[in-house]
Every structure is written in structure tokens, then in C-alpha cells.
Structure 1
Amino acid sequence: MSNFLISLYLDEDVHVLVADLLQARGFDVITARDAGQLQATDAEQLAYAITQGRTLVTHNRTDFEELVQSYFNAGEMHFGVIFAVRRSPQEIAKRLLVILNQVTSQEMENQVRYI
């Protein structure tokens, strides 16, 4: 990935206010709603994030951990997945900012983070 900064894709379970808060700080963030991906399957959500070169943010740890494991087993790459415990949108944004300010997009490739 050529961009140094991480671009995020928030699946439909993550409150859209998280995107607004991060965009206000200059970060590239889109939501499933923005992308027309509402009600897409988890596999489709991850595939969309990959086609866009984005790190996926989700609350759905169980299903996406299985998907990420299947990508790993198949030797396929992704641009990272961040699992966020359900908290207020402000707290999630705060925790994401730590990653966005300290981790490059290249460092996030094929990685999983928990916040």
C-alpha cells in the first residue's frame, strides 16, 4: 500500500459518529453506509475493505476472527482488522486515534488489533 496513513472502513455495527470524529481530525474513514454496504455479509465487508485498501473496524470479533484466520490459512492478505469492544463512539475514536497516530498502513497489513 502506498499511503503511509491507515484508511479505515467501519462496518455497519460501528456507530457512524466514530467516522465523523476521526474525519474531523483529518483521517480517511468511511462507513458501510457511505459505501453502500449495509446488510452485506461479513465476508463481503472484509472483501470490500480489502478492495479499497482499508483497515476494517468492527465489534463482531467472533465472525471476523474466523474470516481473518481463513485468510491467514490461505495465504491471502488484508489491510488489517481492528476489533473494538462496544464503548461510546467517543471512546472508540480515542482508542483508534492511538493506532492511527502510531501505526503505518504498511505495519497494519495482515494484522489484528484489539481496542
Structure 2
Amino acid sequence: MTVFAALYTDEDMSALVATLLRSRGLDVTTVPEQGVLGKTDSEQLEFATSVGRCIVTHNRVDFERLHLQYMEEDKQHSGIIVVPQKNAYEVAQRIGILVSTLTADEIRNQLLYA
């Protein structure tokens, strides 16, 4: 069992959020670090899933749709965390609380709101 979910911040997430999450000891990578800027939301979710990471985004509408599509098609993903657009410190705090409360297994295939 993996305790903390590995995270992947979406293109619209501030780089500071990843820095703040890393300072909490969390395993985080970003779209720019992975060299996948400009990919569609669907491609980003597929990538995150392929590397076993929960995607973190501000994009509620598109990722709600993708989550429902995955469930209808009986496809697996490593989790989706939707966070409202707030300052980076509040966003990181919300994500930190969520991932410290739930294990990676509990986050898998879930659409969560922080």
C-alpha cells in the first residue's frame, strides 16, 4: 500500500504549488517538468495514469467530464483532485490536507475536491 499519492500538477497550476507541496515532503511533478505542455486534458489524464500519478487541476468542468467518461468505459486513473483557484499557499494547504487524509489507494479512480 502506498501511503501518499504521487501528484502531477496540471498546466494551469502555479509552479509555486508544486514547490510548496514538495516542502511538505510530497512527491510532485509538473506538466513543464514532464515536457508535455500543450497536451489536451484527456492526454494529460492518460499521461498521469501511465506514470501512476494523481492529477491536480483547477479545471473542474473538463475533468468531471473525463472522470465520468473513464467510469462509463470502465477505465482506471490514479485520481483527480480539483482545487478552486486561490492563492498558491491555500491551494497547497488544501491539497496537503486531502492527500494526508487519504491513501493513494483511496484516491485511485476518485474525483475529489480540495
Percent identity between matched residues is: 40
SS, match of residue 32 in structure 2: coil
Residue of structure 1 equivalent to 2:93: 94
Residue of structure 1 equivalent to 2:110: 111
List runs of 5+ in structure 1 lacking aligned partners.
Answer: none
Shift of 1:4: 2.2
Residue of structure 1 equivalent to 2:72: 73
Residues of 1 paired with 2:113 and 2:98: CA distance? 10
List runs of 5+ in structure 2 lacking aligned partners.
Answer: none
Residue of structure 2 equivalent to 1:47: 46
Aligned residues: 114
Q: What is the identity, as a one-letter code, of the residue corresponding to 2:53?
A: R
Residues of 2 paired with 1:103 and 1:23: CA distance? 17
Structure 1 moving runs of 4+ over 2 Å: none
TM-score (ref. length: structure 2):
0.96
Residues of 2 paired with 1:100 and 1:4: CA distance? 9
TM-score (ref. length: structure 1):
0.95
Residue of structure 2 equivalent to 1:27: 26
Q: CA RMSD in A?
A: 0.9
Shift of 1:5: 1.4
Q: What is the identity, as a one-letter code, of the residue corresponding to 1:100?
A: V
